[in-house]
Structure 1
Amino acid sequence: MPPLLRLAAAATAVLALGVVAAAPAPGTDPVVTAARVLTHFDPAGRQTPENIALEPDGSADLTLALAGQIARVTPDGRTRVLATLPAVADPATPLVHSAVVTGIARAHDGTLYVDYATGTGATGIWRLSPTGGAPEFIAALPADGLPNGLALDERRGVLYAADSVHGTVWSVPQAGGTATNWATGTALAPLSTPSASGFGANGVKVHRGAVWVSNTDRGTLLRLPVGADGAAGPVETRATGLDGIDDFAFPGQGRSVLAALNAGSKVVLVQPDGTATTVLTARDGLSNPTAVAVLGRTVYVPSGAYVTRRDPNLLVARLRHLVDHR
């Protein structure tokens, strides 16, 4: 999730610096091609796409943060609202001051899990049955935090929620229950400088025996190995200089990452050695991208338009070839 209104003040400076100056090397083929906007959302209806999970048929399940909604976009661009999180009186969410639905994860049976940040006792993880109905509250998270990215490890039966304010990754049983502080520390924490956004740990993914986390304020991509006992191993910094990084995805089985850089309206390919190459920009239709998802060779990028205030949308593109497929 981007730093919303607080991000706007820093956006001009970040854009001037170009965020990540890397570009495709001359004479090389682009990794991502055929970008197009699949569907547009209504900013007047507070439809700000924030996070994404994919259905086997290529439909995209999205959280619409400010609207408090979970929506599904079909491959032909039709949108249907699956559920709306219950309204909260006098929300007091840190940094954003509104109730927002943020991260989303999907189980193999179609159950959806989402983070809901409200600044009240409703803050936590909610579950939506594949058969529909009202979302169900399954785990409380600190009301003074901001649960952001969400990932599911079905093999271990664990949900991981990245808390941007506390700089913490919480673990929660997939069935619901008590949240445990799984990892915390400086690498996950936001910066404390006056110009910082206040957003630390943001996106989170489970990949090849580790939990990967982005830190927006520090512009870093982190890897935390999962021990045999389920505990977090030492934090490894896999990439730096990713200013405004939000959520991300793996386009292959290796350690290359496609990451959304929110402020600069870019998606970059981060190689295993930490180098970054820009693969999508505002010219392709990005408007403060918030996340990335990959299914086969199709890349999905939701844009929340939190700073641009123009055209929140869902973009799709073609992965020219599988990346780092070891």
Structure 2
Amino acid sequence: MPEKFARNLFVAAVAAASLTVGWPGSATAATAPPSAHLSDARIVQHFDLAGGRMPENIALEPDGSVDLAFSAARQIARVTRDGSVRVLATLPAPADGGTHTPALGFPLVTGLVRDAHGTLYLLYATGTAELTGVWRLTPGGAPERIAALPADGLPNGLALDSGLLYVTDSVRGEVRRVPAGGGDATLWADGPELAPAGFLGANGLKIHNGAVWVSNMDRGTLLRIPLRRNGTAGPAETRAEQLPGIDDFAFVGRGDRIVAALDQSNQVALVEPDGTHSIVLGARDGLQNPTAVAVRGDTVYVTSAAYLTEQDPNLLTARIRPRG
């Protein structure tokens, strides 16, 4: 499917969902003063929109490079500190062009994580049973699927913990778990808190302080699901609300402070442990439908896929500064 047509389908789907769900144009800021802010924001890399190089997710390399999932190009690429971009792998195109991919109508690479040995795990949504699933890319190797996921779903967020991969499905509204070595994907959590409300539900996913944290894009919520000692899911707790269009997010330090991408409003929010939040980056900083966030030390990395703006997909960095 031509990338331009694929993007038009995405724009139409998001526009329809926005009318249905009633996303506001910007997030409601916290009433309390933020404890930190972001400064020195700058775009460090621009990408080719026409070639489908729309960065959907990010993984950090120890040498300062970053790995990106280029969604519509079906690629994983590495951006080095000197700005060079190298494609590590291109996933096979589905025979039907991916037109049956739920919610979007085009095949796309979504979640991306790296293990301690440099192996990358990624998610691929195609609407086909043959290709949809969890894929693995070892250093210098070729991509291989290690677990099938439901073809009628949209695998999106991905996290790795203790040899297990956790996957959100934004259409089916659930979290599945897969052995990192490969095998069956089993249902780990579902329920109304994870379900979509017109377009996409459970989205970003992180494992932090004994829990699986999940964002719900349609509902604008951030959820904490306790990870019990026997590996099962506890009841979901809503930890933050009024975050319309929330996509991926990342934790700042060891506590529960979060930076989150708000896709439709071209913003990044700083979410405090008590659930209040403030807007710390916006369109004026160069955000173009931000999709993913990563934190290394006091540096925040934000990818912009430009799904709706259709202008300048990019990678942006900023510094975390304490207030006062």
What runs of 5+ residues in structure 2 fail to find an aligned partner?
A: 1-6
Tell me the TM-score normalized by structure 1.
0.91
Tell me the TM-score normalized by structure 2.
0.91
User: 2:27 is matched by which residue type in structure 1?
Assistant: V
Q: Which residue of 1 aligns with 2:125?
A: 117
Shift of 1:30: 5.7
Q: Which residue of 2 aligns with 1:99?
A: 107
Greater CA drift, 313-322 or 300-309: 313-322
Alpha-carbon contact 1:260-1:267 (below 8 Å) kept: yes
Q: Which residue of 1 aligns with 2:3?
A: none
Shift of 1:77: 2.1
Q: Which residue of 2 aligns with 1:53?
A: 59
Shift of 1:298: 0.9
Q: Which residue of 1 aligns with 2:261?
A: 260
Alpha-carbon contact 2:188-2:232 (below 8 Å) kept: yes
1:83 and 2:89 equivalent? yes
Alpha-carbon contact 1:158-1:171 (below 8 Å) kept: yes
Alpha-carbon contact 1:23-1:279 (below 8 Å) kept: no
Tell me how far apart the structure 2 counterparts of residues 100 and 16 of structure 1 sit (CA, whole Å).
24
User: Residue by residue, what CA displacement relative to the aligned partner does 1:131-175 show, whole Å, maximum 9, x if unpaired?
Assistant: x2210110000000000011000xx21000100011010000010
Q: Which residue of 1 aligns with 2:222?
A: 221
**Structure 1 residues 150 and 16: alpha-carbon distance in aligned structure 2, compared to 1, 3 A threshold:** closer
Q: Secondary structure, in 3 states, of the residue corresponding to 1:172?
A: strand
Q: Secondary structure, in 3 states, of the residue corresponding to 1:45?
A: coil
Tell me how far apart the structure 1 counterparts of residues 59 and 21 of structure 2 sit (CA, whole Å).
28
Alpha-carbon contact 1:14-1:264 (below 8 Å) kept: no
Q: Which residue of 2 aligns with 1:136?
A: 144
Q: Which residue of 1 aligns with 2:14?
A: 7
1:188 and 2:194 equivalent? yes
Q: Which residue of 1 aligns with 2:249?
A: 248
Matches within 5 A, 1:65-84: 65-84=71-90
**Structure 1 residues 15 and 303: alpha-carbon distance in aligned structure 2, compared to 1, 3 A threshold:** farther
Alpha-carbon contact 2:32-2:276 (below 8 Å) kept: no
Shift of 1:18: 3.8
Alpha-carbon contact 2:23-2:245 (below 8 Å) kept: no
Alpha-carbon contact 1:50-1:102 (below 8 Å) kept: yes
Q: Which residue of 2 aligns with 1:43?
A: 49
Q: Secondary structure, in 3 states, of the residue corresponding to 1:4?
A: helix
Shift of 1:56: 1.1
| Identity across the alignment (%) | 61
Q: Which residue of 1 aligns with 2:275?
A: 274
Q: Secondary structure, in 3 states, of the residue corresponding to 2:50?
A: helix
Shift of 1:57: 1.8
Tell me how far apart the structure 1 counterparts of residues 190 and 30 of structure 2 sit (CA, whole Å).
34
Q: Which residue of 1 aligns with 2:300?
A: 299
Alpha-carbon contact 2:28-2:243 (below 8 Å) kept: no
Matches within 5 A, 1:161-240: 161-191=167-197, 196=198, 198-240=199-241
Q: Secondary structure, in 3 states, of the residue corresponding to 1:53?
A: strand
**Structure 1 residues 24 and 289: alpha-carbon distance in aligned structure 2, compared to 1, 3 A threshold:** farther
Tell me how far apart the structure 1 counterparts of residues 171 and 269 of structure 2 sit (CA, whole Å).
25
Q: Which residue of 2 aligns with 1:22?
A: 29
Q: Secondary structure, in 3 states, of the residue corresponding to 1:187?
A: coil
Which of 146, 153, 158 is the matching residue for 1:145?
153
Tell me how far apart the structure 1 counterparts of residues 31 and 120 of structure 2 sit (CA, whole Å).
36
